[in-house]
Chains A and B, each alone.
Chain A
Amino acid sequence: MLHTVNKSPFQNTTLMDCARFLQSGDVLLLLEDGVFACQTGTAHSALVEGLLQQVKVYALRADLKARAITQLIPGVQVTDYAGFVDLLEEHKVHSWL
C-alpha cells in the first residue's frame, strides 16, 4: 500500500492519523506541505524516524526544493514525478488529504 500525505505535521494531525494504519511493507510518500515532516531537528522528526523502522519513506524532490528543505532525516529517500508514477503503478494508493 502507498500512503501519501500532503499536509504539514505542524498544522494538523494527518501524518499521525496515517501512521496508525501503516503496515510493514507499506510505502509513505510525503509531498506538497507533507515534506516539512522529513526535516531533521524539528518537533516532529522523531515521528518520521520511528516510521522509517517500519516502512519506506519517500519525499518528492520538487516540493523539497521549493521549501528549501535540505537537512533530511537519514533514511528518507528523495524521488521525482517519474518515481511517483512508478510507486503508483506498484501499489494501491490511499491519499490522506
Chain B
Amino acid sequence: MAEEIKKIMFTVRKPPHGSIYVYEGLEVKLIMAAYDADISVVFMDDGVYALKQGQDTKELGIKGFAATYGALMDYEIQKVFVDRHSMEVRGMTEADLLIIGEDEETEEPVKPRVIDSREIAAMMAEQHNILSF
C-alpha cells in the first residue's frame, strides 16, 4: 500500500532581517521541497514583510533572501499564501508583493495568493505537520 503523501505547512510570522528566523525557515523549506511532500507556506503577521518587493540588504552587509523567495516555484514550492489582514494593518497591498516565479503554461509572473484567516485556519486543520518560523 502506497504511503500517504505528507501535508506540511510552514508559517512565517517573524519580520525579515531582524533575526535569523525567516532565513532559516527558507532553508528548511528548500530542503523539505526535495522530499515527496505536499508543502504549503503561509506568511502572516510580521512575516508578510518577508514578501515585500524591493528589499535591498547591501548596506546591512548581508546577502538577503528576496532573490530566493523570488524563485520559490523553481524549487517546487507552489502553494504560497499571505494573510490579508496582516497586510492590511501594515498598509500593504498585492502590488507590494514580490514575484515568486512564473506560470508554467502562460509564463505570466506569479505572486503569492492573498487569502483570509478563515481559509488559513481550514488549511491548517488539514495538515499532518505545521512548522513555525
Given contacts A8-B15, A63-B17, contact A70 B91 (CB under 8 A): no
**Chain A CB within 8 A of B53 CB:** yes
Complex interface: chain B residues within 8 A of A80 (CB): 59
Ordered by A's residue number, 24 sampled pairs between the chains whose C-beta atoms are within 8 Å are A6-B18, A8-B15, A8-B46, A10-B89, A32-B17, A33-B46, A36-B15, A36-B46, A39-B91, A42-B89, A42-B90, A42-B91, A45-B91, A63-B17, A65-B60, A66-B17, A66-B60, A67-B16, A67-B49, A68-B52, A68-B54, A68-B55, A68-B56, A70-B54
**Interface range on chain B (Cβ under 8 Å from partner):** 20 to 34
A36 touches B49 (CB 8 A): yes
Mask: chain A, 60-84; 1 = CB below 8 Å from B; 0 = not: 0111011110110000000010000
Taking A36-B90, A42-B91 as given, write out 11 further A-B residue pairs in contact, using a Cβ cutoff of 8 Å, ordered by the A residue number.
A11-B14, A32-B18, A36-B46, A40-B91, A61-B59, A66-B55, A66-B56, A66-B60, A66-B62, A67-B16, A80-B59
Dominant secondary structure at the A interface: loop
Nearest chain A residue, comparing its CB with the CB of B58: A65
B90 touches A65 (CB 8 A): no
B46 touches A11 (CB 8 A): yes
**Chain A CB within 8 A of B45 CB:** yes
Chain B residues 54-69 with CB under 8 Å of chain A are 54-60, 62, 64
Dominant secondary structure at the B interface: loop
A43 touches B90 (CB 8 A): yes
Nearest chain B residue, comparing its CB with the CB of A31: B18
Complex interface: chain A residues within 8 A of B59 (CB): 61-62, 65-66, 80
Interface residue count on the A side (C-beta < 8 Å)? 24
Nearest CB of B to A37, in Å: 11
